[in-house]
Structure 1
């Protein structure tokens, strides 16, 4: 019978340092990971396919985006991950794709910040209070222990306060930020996890040396920062092919000539391999734009499988 791993099992099998090491190895020697494909099930509903494979395993993440799902007892976004054996094609495990996604996304951002932010950063601001926000704070806290001042900002003050308190209760020392411009100006890392279609963070708030981590936008129509922020930054992405097709924070300023293709320093793998230098000084503004990469899912899923499924005798 095909093992089915729950969200709790996925999280338990992915301690932050172990996951970060697996992701770093995957970015350094990436598997084959075609750009994801999207299929319209209806004018409002979408099905996404995200495959990847290496010399050991084949992985496929299936994601549904169905806004009406909650009315039928489901979730707007749902995901499952199927891991198969590379040599036989046989399925090895089915995993909770939501847990896999939030955990690898947060770990990839923290991994990028270790490579792109100023050394030993002390201050982090997370913008947004959705499902990814607490995972970003947990990952950053675990993987960048120099961070001592954590702030959270959301449009709704009550929601922000509740999320901050729940994180405090589990030992993550975060406080609500009363002013977004002030919080941006005082933070060395600014992480955006919103679904905004108009810029939330403005370039004239960003001080020299800041690292911008843009996670929320995943379509050409979504924006988290304005053109001024993008124009000031040295830009690194998780996947060049995907980012140039899907990331509104890059696609829109590229189309208007605010930046050029040369403004993109490279992808995270190139930075980790030492092929390009993103941060040249403590005054550079760096920007990491992630749209989600199937190589991250495969790396995380392989760790989950190794930790959760007993090896054959």
Structure 2
């Protein structure tokens, strides 16, 4: 059975996804998830940003198994509206752990988008002060949009939203969309008190919480722009040779990640700055390690197969509950 994206959009919501991923991250850090490192192959059909990659991500957890195949071809963004190809595309296969029987095959693009934002929301809830009021967003793509929706659920206090993009018009468009009433823009939730607005990169980076969601191969966020106690959530620049954060950001922050092994292997921000991960988010959630206080915190996400499995299982369970 194949489940397409429109049906997934009708079944998967952040309300159950965020707590389910929270528990999965705790279980991962406690050794309760069987997940090898992802295998990544380059297409090597060209050079530069159009040289995409292909990855396989298997995982076993609780009553199911899953494997995700995902591609990232940044050059798709330059193909124009007539092609309308996303830069990330994925397929997830869900299987029974008891019999090995394939349960469902489903489109993975929206699942990847939503699980990434939901995991960041888990990290935001665990690492940010309850009193944060400003959110800076560097980037204006699908992850910027999905993070707005997920963050709003765990920190409604983030009323001051500042958006920066290399293309100023994209930042203005996202700010306008995010200001629409809920009935007109289901994905982004309630309108923000002061209204999201397009700003300079320096103003966005000076917020209490800074989301960096870019496809940049070189640093766009400079540590000198950050507040001394800022929380930075970085979800872009996945790969050991690309980065979106400068050395100062890495060297002046306590670094938290989903997985030490994955981040120190796959994040160019960490690899190229010579940094190390101080804690996994699952350890902090389980109270096995204290939340850092009195300084900057960087949460670096590279994505994990367990997150895709959890989201895919929620889709399947919701589909069964609907009697489809």
Q: Do both proteins adopt the same fold according to a TM-score greater than 0.5, normalized to the shorter chain?
A: yes
Q: Out of 61, 68, 89, which is 1:61 matched to?
A: 68
Cα deviations across residues 127-157 of structure 1 (Å, max 9, x unaligned)?
Answer: 1012211001111112212211112111111
Evaluate the alpha carbon distance shift between residue 183 and residue 147 of structure 1 in structure 2; reply closer, same or farther with a 3 A threshold.
same
Task: Name the SS of the counterpart of 1:304 in structure 2.
Answer: helix
Check if 1:252 corresponds to 2:265: no
Give yes or no for contact 2:18–2:119 (8 Å, CA) kept in 1: yes
Distance 2:39 2:320 in 1: 30
- Corresponding residue of 2:25: 27
Task: Name the SS of the counterpart of 1:132 in structure 2.
Answer: helix
Q: Out of 194, 217, 223, which is 1:197 matched to?
A: 217
Evaluate the alpha carbon distance shift between residue 115 and residue 92 of structure 1 in structure 2; reply closer, same or farther with a 3 A threshold.
same
Give yes or no for contact 1:52–1:60 (8 Å, CA) kept in 2: yes
* Structure 1 residue runs without a partner (length 5+): none
Q: Out of 31, 42, 45, which is 2:44 matched to?
A: 42
Give yes or no for contact 2:17–2:115 (8 Å, CA) kept in 1: yes
Q: Out of 82, 86, 91, which is 2:102 matched to?
A: 91
Check if 1:278 corresponds to 2:318: no
- Corresponding residue of 1:176: 197
Task: Name the SS of the counterpart of 1:219 in structure 2.
Answer: coil
Evaluate the alpha carbon distance shift between residue 198 and residue 121 of structure 1 in structure 2; reply closer, same or farther with a 3 A threshold.
same
Give yes or no for contact 1:117–1:279 (8 Å, CA) kept in 2: no
TM-score, length-scaled by structure 1: 0.90
TM-aligned CA deviation for residue 58 of structure 1: 0.6
Task: Give the CA RMSD over aligned residues.
Answer: 2.0
Check if 1:5 corresponds to 2:7: no
Give yes or no for contact 2:162–2:199 (8 Å, CA) kept in 1: no
TM-aligned CA deviation for residue 197 of structure 1: 1.7
- Corresponding residue of 1:134: 145
Check if 1:266 corresponds to 2:279: yes
Map of 1:140-179 to 2, 5 A cutoff? 140-169=151-180, 170=185, 171-173=190-192, 174-179=195-200
Deviates more, 1:128-137 or 1:4-13: 4-13
TM-score, length-scaled by structure 2: 0.87
Distance 1:56 1:311 in 2: 21
Give yes or no for contact 1:265–1:278 (8 Å, CA) kept in 2: no
Distance 2:120 2:107 in 1: 21
Cα deviations across residues 179-233 of structure 1 (Å, max 9, x unaligned)?
Answer: 2112322x11000000112211111111122100000010122222211111111
Task: Name the SS of the counterpart of 2:278 in structure 1.
Answer: strand
Evaluate the alpha carbon distance shift between residue 206 and residue 66 of structure 1 in structure 2; reply closer, same or farther with a 3 A threshold.
closer
Cα deviations across residues 253-272 of structure 1 (Å, max 9, x unaligned)?
Answer: 11xxxx4x3xx221111111
Check if 1:119 corresponds to 2:118: no
- Corresponding residue of 2:208: 188
Deviates more, 1:85-94 or 1:45-54: 45-54
- Corresponding residue of 2:257: 237
Cα deviations across residues 70-103 of structure 1 (Å, max 9, x unaligned)?
Answer: 5995544311111011111111111120010000
Give yes or no for contact 2:92–2:107 (8 Å, CA) kept in 1: yes
Task: Name the SS of the counterpart of 2:227 in structure 1.
Answer: coil
Give yes or no for contact 1:138–1:172 (8 Å, CA) kept in 2: no
Task: Name the SS of the counterpart of 2:289 in structure 1.
Answer: coil
How many pairs does the alignment contain? Answer: 300
Distance 2:313 2:168 in 1: 39
Evaluate the alpha carbon distance shift between residue 68 and residue 136 of structure 1 in structure 2; reply closer, same or farther with a 3 A threshold.
closer
